[in-house]
Amino acid sequence: MSLPVSLKSSNSFSIDSHCPAIYYIRHENDLLPFYGRKPEDYYILGGGTNILLMSEISRPVIKVEIKGREVIHDEGDQIVIRVGGGENWHAIVEWTLQQGFYGLENLSLIPGTVGAAPVQNIGAYGVELQEVFVRCEAVHIPDGKMISINKEGAKMAYRDSIFKHELRGKVLITYVHLKLSKKPNIRVSYGDISKVLESKKILNPSPAEVSEAVISIRRSKLPDPAVLGNAGSFFKNILTDSLTHQKLLEKFPDLPSFPADHGKVKIPSAWLIEKLGWKGFREGDAGCHKDQALVLVNYGNATGIEIWNLAQRIMRSVHEHFGLKLECEVNIWN
């Protein structure tokens, strides 16, 4: 009988968990042993930056390591790139900037792999992946078929997609196609990007300078997982309707908010959590980061269960006080 395989170095929370085996997928054919299997028979692992391991894992783990980056269409000002699902996301952002391809600069330094990006519909500083997403190539594991899913089929929404619902665990994304531009479209109105650029006396920023600003902001707000175990933002921001928003403003006049798509209003979950005193809270080795209330951290030897228990306490607190339900960005493995 083979010994369990440690997953501690494969998850950014640094949870000391184990699984029966890890299968490294560097080509579609490496998935052959799993054809015909059901999603509950395995876990699919990308960069391990958006998961919380609750306990020992009884299923084998499929780790995506498919590489590759190429331009497949050059349409004048627009180009389409094809990128392997196992590529590091930020490394691809840097590569596109070096090539003079723009559109990903606001998504700099988001942890994880390219294959995981459509699942989460990653977004930051006013930009979401769905704006540049064309399609992805994938393997439908239960029947072993190669499939292609376009933007409409991916059903992307705020931190959401079909890969979290109907196709959850059923497909492994092998390649992602993105449409970028050779002409910069500078977007600095969201968050502190403009402030950072102004502090450097940069009035007409390049995409590379926008990327550098985003990187500096993220590093100032988010702890390095190599130093302090975490998965970035643990909770999503809250989307609510305008009527609920108005009622909340009557009770909490200082409540910050931003307009969102389809007439919705986005409420920063970090503000709600901080308002209730959770920012900087620590119990044992599980805590809420001192500088960013959305980030739960492992100070050393916390278990996934301990971090999850803290998350549930924060969620109950927000619901009881504000009547709002926090949703997790992080995927829970149990």
Task: Please say whether the beta carbons of 118 and 133 come within 8 A.
Answer: yes
**Active-site hit among 159, 211, 212, 269:** 159
How many Å apart are CA 110 and CA 214, to the nearest integer? 10
H or E element that contains 233: strand 229-233
Concatenate the DSSP letters of all residues of 118-178 into one string.
Answer: HHHT-EETTEEGGGTEEEEEEEETTTTEEEEEEHHHHT-BTTB-GGGTTTTTTEEEEEEEE
What is the token pair recorded at 25?
């997928």
Task: Please say whether the beta carbons of 153 and 140 come within 8 A.
Answer: no
Task: Please say whether the beta carbons of 141 and 33 come within 8 A.
Answer: no
Q: Which residue(s) pair with 115 in the sheet?
A: none
Task: Please say whether the beta carbons of 324 and 74 come within 8 A.
Answer: no
Strand order through the sheet with 265-267: 238-240, 265-267, 258-259
Asked about 135 being catalytic, the answer comes back as no
Q: Residue 53, class by beta-carbon neighbours within 10 Å (0-12 exposed, 13-18 middle, 19+ buried)?
A: buried
CA 278 to chain centre: 22
How many Å apart are CA 294 and CA 279, to the nearest integer? 8
Which amino acid does the sequence have at 304?
A: G
Asked about 329 being catalytic, the answer comes back as yes
- From the CB of residue 236, how many other CB atoms can be counted at a distance below 10 Å? 18
Task: Give me Rg for the CA atoms of the chain.
Answer: 20
Q: Residue 168, class by beta-carbon neighbours within 10 Å (0-12 exposed, 13-18 middle, 19+ buried)?
A: middle
Asked about 159 being catalytic, the answer comes back as yes
Residues noted as catalytic: 159, 233, 329
